[in-house]
Structure 1
Amino acid sequence: MVSRFLLLMALSVCVSGTLVAKVANSSYQAEVDEDLIMEWTFTPRPDSSLKDLYIFCYMFNPQKYSVLLELRKGAEVPEGQAKEFVGIVQYDKEVLREGKIRLHVSSLRTEDSGWYLCDVYPEYGNNLGRFYISVSGTLVVNVGHRFNQAELGQYATLEWTFTPRPHRSLKNLNISCRMFNHQKNSVLFELHEGVEVPQKEGEFVGRVHYDKEVLKGGRIRLHVSSLRIEDSGLYLCEVDTEYGSSSDECFLIVSGKTALLVGLILWTVAALIGLLCVCYFGSKRLLRALRPVDYSSQAKKDPPSLSESMLLRSLQTSADQQREESN
């Protein structure tokens, strides 16, 4: 847990009964889950007491307006504090008499980015100091092993790690894991607001299981069983949280002796089918070539040419003359 001290001084001078604020640091960059100490200073009057003070500290951004601290006549008003800052914002009572408003803000969130102000209303005027805090989240996702190899029919364990935040609930955690290759794009595993989304269809139904125990520690551990050849490809996991989002990928190659045997069998079957096709069509052509030609049927199909007609007529005339002579 990182704790830093940010001093924002509202240096006050009394001009015609009015307190004028001067801000030393106008902005500050913080990270998610960082602890921050904010401090405003004002000039208390020697003849005044805490009962004369009314202090009102708050923050705002385009999405919300929240009260951080409210003091009336030197006493804290608990019901005035916004619920989201209860237990997160504390103030030092001891330094209040010295003219200091010191707030301790723990476990900053991205939605805590905005303007922070404190108003002090003594009997002679008011004191206003403001500055801007920008809270950014950093999430890093890493894969355990970039390249993974497993055998057909066996199982593979794929693991990703991410940076969890202490005191953060899994309700704000969303995870989507998918696999890609040249044939398909399939959902492997999904977690929505900390709850697993059951896969009702697809080739990974019943074959993917995750370890719930290691999830809080920032580990996504998936067990993929009954591996197939088509399970080879790119595996990607995306993590989305309130403090950022990131992703990383790994490769899985399904191979082994069994895979080679299956490939050899498929190749042999394909070769035999091809050989049978060649033999079938080749024998068909051979039979067609050896078949006797029926010229009479061919003559019926193809009409004779002029020369062929004259030859046939002369042959017919010669045949008729031979019959007459024989008679």
Structure 2
Amino acid sequence: GFLLHGSAGPLTARLGGAVLLPCFVDRPLPLEELEVDWRRTDSDTIVHLFQDGQSRPESQGDAYRGRAHFFSQEIPKGNFSLLLDGVRTADAGVYKCVVYTEQEQRETRVEIQEAPERLVVMGADEPVYAHAGEDVTLSCSVDTHVNMTELQVKWRKTDDDGDILMLLYDDGENRPESQDERYSGRAEFFTEEIPKGNFSMKLRKVRTEDKGEFRCEVHSDTDSVNTTARIAAL
């Protein structure tokens, strides 16, 4: 007999990335009587097949064609692991690797879990120069596949006079009632831009005391990131 080894636990894969699905035996098996069958357990879709001494890409389900690959040079050594690239949301699920010889068959299973999406937030590198009474825009944009309504975004003023909440976006909407009174009616989001990930802030009628540092904080269920902005007086 032979022993078949797989993954000790679930695998996490990033959207667009690649993931290795392990499946290997403890000793090489004769190729002429070998069949290796990778499938999804929920739909029985063939992810990849090795049969009659060669891999059979023509048997792959449409969703996996050209994305799931054996390591051909490793198969004679008993390694039937699969590389799945261009990971999609639909790839999450349980897969089984079944190895058949003339005498027996063995099976191992592995689960792919989608990794939480990393947030990336971008701001401006340069300070914004403003005269008193002017309107300014402070940049903050989020690059993510996450639905914007799942994010919480806060703009704060973060310098000597402490930590002042200027703007809050939460549960899919702007929360003007939470603004510090110094910024009520002066600081606002570009609401129509939010679905595109743009959380820049418009600050109307700049005052001398607005000079200093601001922070745009973005929170999701799994991640927190921020960027800073600065207003410099002329």
TM range (shorter): 0.5 to 0.7
Separation (CA, whole Å) in 2 of partners of 1:189 and 1:240: 14
Q: 1:1-327 alignment to 2 at 5 Å?
A: 15=1, 20-23=3-6, 32-36=14-18, 69-70=41-42, 76=44, 91-92=45-46, 95-96=48-49, 98=51, 105-107=87-89, 118=96, 120=98, 125-130=105-110, 135=115, 137-165=117-145, 168-200=146-178, 202-242=181-221, 244-254=223-233
Separation (CA, whole Å) in 2 of partners of 1:231 and 1:133: 46
- Structure 1 position 237, deviation (Å): 0.6
Any unmatched runs of 5+ in structure 1?
1-14, 48-52, 58-67, 77-90, 256-327
Separation (CA, whole Å) in 2 of partners of 1:219 and 1:248: 13
Distance 1:203 1:212, change over 3 A: same
Distance 1:232 1:108, change over 3 A: farther
Separation (CA, whole Å) in 2 of partners of 1:243 and 1:108: 20
3-state SS of paired residue (1:70):
coil
Separation (CA, whole Å) in 1 of partners of 2:110 and 2:10: 12
Partners of 2:140 and 2:199 within 8 A in 1: yes
Structure with more strand by fraction? 2
- Structure 1 position 235, deviation (Å): 0.5
Any unmatched runs of 5+ in structure 2?
69-83
- Structure 1 position 241, deviation (Å): 2.9
- Greater alpha carbon shift after TM alignment, 199-208 vs 209-218: 209-218
- Structure 1 position 244, deviation (Å): 3.1
Q: Identify the residue that residue 78 of structure 2 maps to in structure 1.
A: none
Partners of 1:28 and 1:132 within 8 A in 2: yes
Partners of 1:33 and 1:108 within 8 A in 2: no
Separation (CA, whole Å) in 2 of partners of 1:150 and 1:70: 60
Instruction: Give me the TM-score of the superposition, normalised by structure 2.
Output: 0.61
- Structure 1 position 205, deviation (Å): 1.0
Distance 1:29 1:218, change over 3 A: farther
Structure with more helix by fraction? 1
- Structure 1 position 154, deviation (Å): 1.9
Q: How large is the RMSD of aligned CA atoms in angstroms? A: 4.6
Instruction: Give me the TM-score of the superposition, normalised by structure 1.
Output: 0.46
3-state SS of paired residue (1:220):
coil
Instruction: Name the aligned partner's letter for residue 197 of structure 1.
Output: R
Distance 1:124 1:246, change over 3 A: same
Q: Identify the residue that residue 77 of structure 2 maps to in structure 1.
A: none
- Structure 1 position 247, deviation (Å): 0.9
